Structure 1
Amino acid sequence: MAFISRLRTQFLSWYHDTPLADEPNVTPIFQTWHEFDDAKERWGPIDASRATSSLGDRQTTAGQDPQSLVLVTWNVDSSSPLPTSRISAIISRILGLTPAVDIIFLQEVSRAALSAMLNDARIRQHWFSSEVDAANWGGQSFASMTLLSKERFTYPKGSSEMATLGPVWRVKYPSRFERDALCCDIFVPSPSPASAALGNPNARFRLVNVHLDSLPIHPSCRPRQISIIASILCSAGRGVVAGDFNPVLPEDETLVQDNGLVDAWVELRHGEPGFTWGIDGKQPFPPNRLDKVATVGLKVQDIEVLHPESITTLGKPENVRSMDDLPSRGQEHGVDELVPWSDHSGLRCSFKMV
C-alpha cells in the first residue's frame, strides 16, 4: 500500500507541477480556488494554472514589499450559538486591521459560518476562497478554510508583478477526528535578481492551514501530523503553517522545533505567554497557547494575539433561573447574555522571504 501511495503522489506531483512530500499513506486531494462572478451572481471555480484573470494587469500597491505578507489565523468555534453573527464580527475585525491582511486561515468553520462568509459583500468582492460548499469536508460538520486577498494575489502564475495563485489541496493524514491539512502554493516575485535573470521570476511559497487533533488522548496523532506538515513545507523549500495545534500534552511543547520549524511566537516574543485559549477562566483547563504560526525559509517580522470580543444577545426566559437573575424589573422576557466571538483568540503574523 505504501508503494502504491508513493506512486500516486509522484503522479499528482507531476500532473499539478507541484512538489509533494514523499510520505507513505498520506493522500493529497486537489481542489480548486473560487471567486465570485458578479455577472452570474454566484461563486465559481477558477483554474489558477490556466485561467486568465481580469486582475492580471494590476501591480503591487505602492509602498508594499512584494515579498512581505500578513496572515491571520483564527479558530472560529463551530459549536457556540450565533455562528453567523460571530463570524461576521471576526471577519470585520480582520478586515479592519492595519496593515491589511493578505491571507486568512480559519478553522472550525461550520456550514452556517461558511454560508455567512460567502454571502458577505466584502468577501465576494475582495477575496479568493478555497471553499464554496462542504464538498471537500468529508462529511465533517466543520472544516478549515483559506482566503487570499485579491489586493495581493492574482492568476495565472507569472501574470503580473503581484503574487499569484497556485494549486490548492487537502492532505489526509492520520487523525482520530478525520481532520486534514489544507495546503496551497502561491508564487511571490523572487527577491533574487539572479533567479529572475535565470527565468525564475516567481518563488514558490507554501501555506498550510491546520487543525490538529484535540484532547490528551494516548497515543497522540499530533507528532505524526506535525512531522507530515514539516515534510510538506520542506518539499516546497519555504512556507508557513498556522492554525490550532492543540498542544495539550507535555510532548507537544517541542514538536514544532523538533521538526525543524521556527515557532514565530518563540522567535519574537520568547518568555511572553501568548495564550490563545482559556484566558477568560471559564474553561475546564488552564490557559494555553493552542494556536501557533511556524515557518520554514522565512523571516518573521511581527506577531500578536487578537483577543475576541462578545456579542450581546437577549437570553430566553428558560435560561433565567429566577427573577433575581434579571437585571431589573420589566425584563421578564429575557436577559442580556454575552456570547464570545470564539473560545480561541486569533493570531496576526507578518513575514517575508529571505
Structure 2
Amino acid sequence: MFPTIQSWKRGELAPQEYHTFRDGLWHPVEARESTIPAAGATAPRSLQFAVLSWNIDFMRPEDDARMASALKHLRGLVAGKPVPSVIMLNEMTKSDLNLIKQAAWVREGYNITDANTDHWESASYGTCMLLPRTLPLTTISRLHYPNTSMARDGLFADVALPGGRALRLCTTHLESLRVDPPRRPAQLAAAALHLRQAHAGILGGDLNAIQEFDEGLPGECGLRDAYLEGGGREGDEEGMTWGYQSGSGQRERYGLGRLDKILFCGGALKLLAFERFGMGVLVEDEGAASRLVYGDLEKAWVTDHLGVRAEFRVEVPEEKEGAAEVQDGETPIVEETPAQVKTREEGSETKAEKSPDTQEPAPSTSS
C-alpha cells in the first residue's frame, strides 16, 4: 500500500505507485526502493529525450472535449519521434485521467504516474506524468509543500542511470496569485533541493511567474532556465506562455506572461533544443466548441496556456576500475544556497494567510 492523503507528511517525499497497461487493464507497479527497470528497459549510459509540460485549465467548461483535443495534439508531438518524450501535465481532473487511460497511444507507449486522484491533496485537480515505457523507472514520489493554501505539490520520477545514479524528473504547479510573504520561493526551493541530490534533474510546470522576484528564483535555487539557456531573453514575446489564449479582458488587464518553464541542473545534462507548443489548438467537437466561445473568449482554445518542450542529453561517464557505485538515495547532497535556506525557513515558519490588503489577482485563480 502507498501513502494517501491520510498518511503522507507535508514537506516529506511520499512514495507512490505508477501504472502500466497490460492484458486490457491498468495495473499499479510498486517503484519504491526498486532498482528493477520497467519491462524491457535498461539503464543507458547516454540518453537523449524530450520533456513536454502543459497546463490544461481545469476551470473552463467542456473539460472532456478540451482534453480529448489536447491529447490528440500531444500525440502528434511525440508519435514517431526518434527520442522518448516525457509528458508533464498540470491541472488534471479525474475525467482527464480517465481520458488519458483510454488513449490507445498512451496505453501502448507510456506508463502513467496517476490512474486516479488518490495521491492528490486537492479534490479538484492535480499533477500527472506520462513516462515512456522505455525509461527504467526506480522511484515515484510526491512532495506536498509545507507552505500552500492551494494544495500544491511536486511530483517526482527517478529514471535509472548506470552506477546507481538517477535522472530525477519533477513536475510542479506553484502557488497562484500574490500573497505577502510569497509562497513560490519556498516551494521551488523545496523541489530544487531534491532535484540537486540526483545525478541530473529536470523540473517542468506552471511556475506562475507573475511578479518581478519570480524571474530570479531558478538561479537562486541552483537551477538553469531552458528558455534562457537556449538563447531566449526575459520579457520577449517569443517566450510568453500565457495570455494568447485567455479571454480578451484578462489579456488586456494582465498582458502576456512566461508562466510555464522547464528548469534543469547537473553537469551531465546538455540542453539541445527548446520551443513552445499548443498555439491555436482548438476543440474539435463542434458542439462543445460553440458552447466554449462566450463572453470575451474569441475561440474555443483547449486551454489558456501554451506548452513548453525541451530536448536534452544526459551522459554518465565510464566507471573507473575499483570505483564504488553510488546507490539510490546515496547521491551526494549539494549544499543549499543561501537563498534556498532563507526561503525554506520562511516557508516553514509562516502561515501566509490571504487578506484583502495583500491579495492581488493573477491571470487566473488556477493558473
Corresponding residue for residue 135 of structure 1 = 118
Q: Does 1:167 align with 2:128?
A: no
Aligned position for 2:55: 75
Partner amino acid for 2:65?
Answer: S
Equivalent residue for 2:204? 242
Distance 1:83 1:51, change over 3 A: farther
In structure 1, how many angstroms separate the alpha carbons of the residues matched to 2:169 and 2:294?
46
What stretches of structure 1 of length at least 5 have no aligned partner? 1-11, 13-23, 154-163, 191-199, 322-336
Opposite residue 264 of structure 2, the aligned amino acid is: T
Deviations 1:134-157 (A, max 9, x none): 11112421000011112x22xxxx
State the secondary structure of the residue aligned to 2:195.
Answer: helix
Q: What is the one-letter code of the residue matched to 1:348? A: R
**Matching residue of 2:351:** none
8 Å CA contact retained: 2:189, 2:221? yes
Shift of 1:280: 4.1
- Aligned positions of 1:7-26 closer than 5 A: 26=11
Moved more, 266-275 or 242-251: 266-275
Q: Give yes or no for contact 1:169–1:183 (8 Å, CA) kept in 2.
A: yes
Aligned-pair identity (%):
27
Contact 1:311 1:338 in 2 (8 A): no
**Partner of 1:279 in structure 2?**
244
Please give the alpha-carbon distance, in whole angstroms, between the structure 1 residues aligned to 2:245 and 2:96: 23
8 Å contact from structure 2 (residues 16, 30) kept in 1: no
> Does structure 1 residue 290 correspond to structure 2 residue 259?
yes
SS of the equivalent of 1:217 reads coil
- Once residues 132 and 226 of structure 2 are traced to their aligned partners in structure 1, the CA distance between those partners, rounded to angstroms, is 22
Alignment of 1:101-140 (within 5 A): 101-140=84-123
- What TM-score do you get using the length of structure 1 for normalisation? 0.74
Distance 2:173 2:256 in 1: 18
Alignment partner, residue 186 of structure 1: 159
Q: Deviations over 1:69-96 (max 9, x none)?
A: 1111000111112222222222222222
Report SS of the residue matched to 1:292.
strand
SS at match of 1:55: coil
Indicate whether 1:36 and 2:21 are aligned: yes
Task: Give unmatched runs, 5+ long, in structure 2.
Answer: 4-8, 316-367
Residue 115 (structure 1) shift: 0.9
SS of aligned partner of 2:254: coil
Distance (whole Å) between structure 2 residues aligned to residue 206 and residue 53 of structure 1: 15
Alpha-carbon deviation of 1:212?
0.2
What amino acid maps onto 2:101 in structure 1? L
Hey, what does 1:20 align to over in structure 2?
A: none
Q: Which has the larger radius of gyration?
A: 1
Q: Is the 8 A contact 1:176 1:221 kept in 2?
A: no
Deviations 1:161-192 (A, max 9, x none): xxx1111011011212011100111113x4xx
**Aligned equivalents of 2:37 and 2:193: distance in 1?**
32
What's the counterpart of residue 283 of structure 2? 311
Alignment match, 1:196: none
Q: Indicate conservation of the 8 Å contact 2:11/2:143, yes or no.
A: yes
Distance (whole Å) between structure 1 residues aligned to residue 166 and residue 27 of structure 2: 25
Q: Distance in 2 between matches of 1:167 and 1:66?
A: 20
| Residue 259 of structure 1, CA deviation | 1.3
Give the counterpart letter for 2:12 in structure 1.
Answer: T
Q: For 1:280 and 1:113, locate their aligned partners in 2 and report how far apart those are by CA, in whole Å.
A: 20
Cα offset, 1:353, TM superposition: 1.6
CA distance in 1, matches of 2:38, 2:158: 21
Superimposed CA distance per residue, residues 266-311 of structure 1 (whole angstroms, 9 cap, x where no aligned partner): 0012324311100246224110000000000121110100034112
SS at match of 1:133: coil
Q: Residue type of the partner of 1:43?
A: W
Choose 47-56 or 238-247, whichever is displaced more: 47-56
The one-character-per-residue Cα deviations of 1:88-127 (angstroms, maximum 9, x if unpaired) are 2222222222455520100000111111111112212211
- Helix, strand or coil for the counterpart of 1:95? helix
**2:323 alignment counterpart:** none
Q: Equivalent residue for 1:209?
A: 171
1:3 corresponds to: none
C-alpha distance 42-168 of structure 1, shift in aligned 2 (>3 A): same
TM-score by length of 2: 0.72
Change (3 A) 1:139 1:259: closer
Q: Distance in 1 between matches of 2:61 and 2:84?
A: 27
* Secondary structure at 2:141 match in 1: strand
